[in-house]
Chain A
Amino acid sequence: MSTTALGTQDAQDTQKTTGTAGRPSGGLRVTFPRVVHMEWIKLRSLRSTLYTLTITVVLVIGLGVLFSSLVGSGQGPGEDDFSDPTSISLGGVMLASLAVAVLGVLMSAGEYATGSIRATLAAVPSRLPVLWGKVIVFAVVGFVLMLVAALGAFLAGQSVLSSRDMTTAALSDPGVFRALIGAAVYLTGAGLIGLAVGVLLRNTAGAITTVVGALFVLPGVIQLLPSSWNDAIGPYLPSNAANAFMSVQTSGDSLSSGSGLAVFAVYLVVLLAGAAVLLKRRDA
């Protein structure tokens, strides 16, 4: 910082602050596209965001390749999925959703942690456009990147499987493209769940714990319950519902892909609506 320059230029600087030359030309107004633009600038100007997104893509593709090269060798997981080459190559999606969910949390709760939410809400005092702006930016960026990742994982995974003379799937096979879109939807949705929970809890650590618990720990806990409970609740958990629309073949006890998508969408809508209500009502 050049304090000397500051001192000597006092007079001119003050002129500039306040003189007509510095006055922004008219047309100042908050509009929704402008709020979306703000959120886009915020997203792209954080290195941590870019790293997390890259890591997610790498995880989806890398784990897909790993699972594809291990399946059937007696060392890897997912031996049961042998009949579904698509889901083998999408084996990294569940883990990657952790990274996206954390990113979603950071995008909202991170603003509370750093105090920048108050600068944001001072600029957009009607508040709700900020939430919808974040949702749109995250949804578009997330979906495009995650679709690329899912497609990459599928193509790389299938070529690994093919080189090992194992059954492969083609993009044109029934249900394959839907499963890839489904993977991108789930990953994006996991991020939006993180974003909504971040607004609800306004605390990074708490929100990450909650989202990880709901997406990863809960399904395991439910399996410990008596099977009648498990069968009744299990399929409706967010990650299990998502599995229903990310798989080419649905197993007997899970939902159909349509119902899975509907259940997942209900989670998203309820959480985002709750976030909107609290964002509007609470002190920032």
Chain B
Amino acid sequence: MIEVNDLSKRYGDKLAVDTLSFTVRPGVVTGFLGPNGAGKSTTMRMIMGLDRPSSGKVRVSGRPYEQHEAPLETIGALLEAKAIHPGRSAYHHLLALAASNGIGRQRVLEVIDMVGLTEVARKRAGGFSLGMGQRLGIASALLGDPRIVMLDEPVNGLDPEGVLWIRNLLKDLADQGRTVFVSSHLMSEMALIAEDLIVIGRGRLLSAGPLADFVAQSSSRSVRVQSPQAGALRDLLVGDGVSVTGSRPGVLDVQGLEAAEIGERAAAAGLVLHELFVQEASLEEAFMELTRDAVEYHATTTEFATTGGTYR
């Protein structure tokens, strides 16, 4: 369990994290989403006691992190890949960390084996690829067999097999009743593994709760209607709060009306429908919609697309 209460972090003039409050519960994978610069990494560093909050509190398993006797057994974290001296081997890096908490050599070899680094564990880490660095970071997160696992962008640089492995690992960890808190910018990945979702933008909480609710609430949900009388149907449906777009002839995407309502109106007007299909918003669409105003670094192409009228 991670409890964040009114947490703020100020760097000079900039409020990186702004009175943020949320709880990460055990037993499920909780995704942590936000645009670049939203404050995800800063929040995670404050949970680990690495950055000092400007105000507010973080409690990890009921206490501030630094008050735990065996920190590595409390949280295992991957905050940045390759947080290792390039001249030191993965084995010695892990052995040193393990020694501080009284974790034995056997466990070090075990986590190295688990992440698939056995063959390179004795080599200097300077030559590691990003993916190998990630595996090493994950190994150090698992070192203390922690009750909470917190990973910042764990799939970065991993090959497809590695991604699959992480996905299974995180689900298993959650199934065992552990708290699993994962940030990622890969929405498709998040949609697959996360059950709960915490979304922040500009340091503020935008949404917290089950991922399914988050997606369902999105107005990006639309109904696709195919009809030989598309023109007539469009005139019939367009109105207050309803928008109709057409991607190809005979096909309409309707937002703001339920499928049943569309079907009934069409039937009443005697229009023929060939298809009536509810398109659930993707997590990505729901996310974009929620964070549109909270994006720190806009790419100019986004604005182009928006004004160009073919957005989405």
Contact = CB atoms under 8 A, between A and B. Distances in A.
Contact of A17 (B77, B85, B92, B169): B169
A23 to B, nearest CB: 5
22 contacts: A6-B116, A17-B111, A18-B172, A24-B103, A27-B102, A28-B72, A30-B69, A37-B100, A41-B92, A42-B92, A45-B92, A115-B80, A116-B85, A116-B88, A119-B83, A120-B97, A121-B49, A123-B97, A123-B101, A125-B65, A281-B52, A283-B50
A231 interface: no
What 4 pairs between A and B have smallest CB-CB spacing?
A45-B92, A6-B116, A125-B66, A28-B70
B48 interface: yes
Interface of A: 1-3, 5-7, 10, 13-14, 16-18, 22-25, 27-31, 34-35, 37-39, 41-42, 45-48, 110-111, 114-116, 118-127, 281-284
Contacts of B220: none
B208 to A, nearest CB: 25
Contacts of A126: 66
A47 B122 CA distance: 13
A41 B96 contact: yes
Given A41-B92, A116-B85, A283-B45, A7 B161 contact: yes
Considering residues B68, B119, B145, which has the most beta carbons from chain A within 10 angstroms of its beta carbon? B145
Nearest to B84: A116
A116 B93 contact: yes
B145 A114 contact: no
Interface size on B, as a range, is 35 or more
Given A14-B168, A123-B71, A24 B100 contact: no
Interface in B51-90: 51-52, 65-66, 68-73, 75, 77, 79-80, 82-89
Contact of A24 (B116, B120, B132, B144): B144
B116 A2 contact: yes
A35 to B, nearest CB: 5
Interface string B167-182: 0110011001010000
Query: Which has the most chain A C-beta neighbours within 10 Å: B45, B66, B95, B114?
Result: B114
A18 B51 contact: no
A69 B134 CA distance: 55
B299 to A, nearest CB: 28
Contacts of A17: 111, 114, 142, 169, 172-173
Nearest to A124: B100
Contacts of B25: none
B99 A37 contact: yes
Contacts of B100: 30, 34-35, 37-38, 120, 123-124
B240 interface: no
Of B50, B80, B120, most A-chain CB atoms within 10 Å: B50
Contacts of B232: none
A21 B49 CA distance: 30
Contacts of A39: 96
A14 B138 CA distance: 13
B164 interface: yes
A28 B144 contact: yes
Contacts of B120: 1
